[in-house]
Amino acid sequence: MITFDESGGDQYYRELDVEISRWGDAASKNNAQYGVQPFYIPRNVFQFNVPSGPVTHLMRWESGRASFKSVKGPSVSGTTVIAQHEFTSSIPSPGRERAYLVFYIVPSEKYPIQKGSEVVIDKFEYLP
C-alpha cells in the first residue's frame, strides 16, 4: 500500500509505504517495512516481520509525522501489535496523492517462484 502523487516529484512523489516482501531474499528474517521516501536514508525505513494470517495495517499521515501500526487480526481492534513506528522527518506536505494497493512478485534466479500468491482485502477505509 502506498501513497503517490505523480506531480509531487519535489517531495519524492509524497510516497509513504507499507510493503510486504522479502525483496528477493527468501532467507530474510523481515518480510515487511514501513517507509517514507527517500528510502536510501536509513531512518526512513522500519523493517519488521509479519506472521501469516489476517493482519490489519494502519497509516496516519499528519503534518510533520506519519505513524504506522500493524495488528494481528482482521480489524483495527486487534490486540496483538505486530509492529508500530512513527516517522518525524522527510514527511511530505499534502498534495494530490492517491492511495494505491500494488501486488507484484519479484522472482530471481536464486529464489524462483515456487507457488502461487494472493492477497485478500476484506476492507479498505480512507479517512481524509
Run means of pLDDT, 10 residues per run, the chain, 128 residues? 95 96 83 96 96 91 96 82 96 94 80 81 80
Backbone Cα Rg of the chain: 15
Work out the number of other CB atoms within 10 angstroms of the CB of residue 33. Answer: 21
pLDDT at 78: 65
Q: Is 69 helix (H, G, I), strand (E, B) or coil?
A: strand
pLDDT at 117: 80
Distance CA 99, CA 5 (A): 9
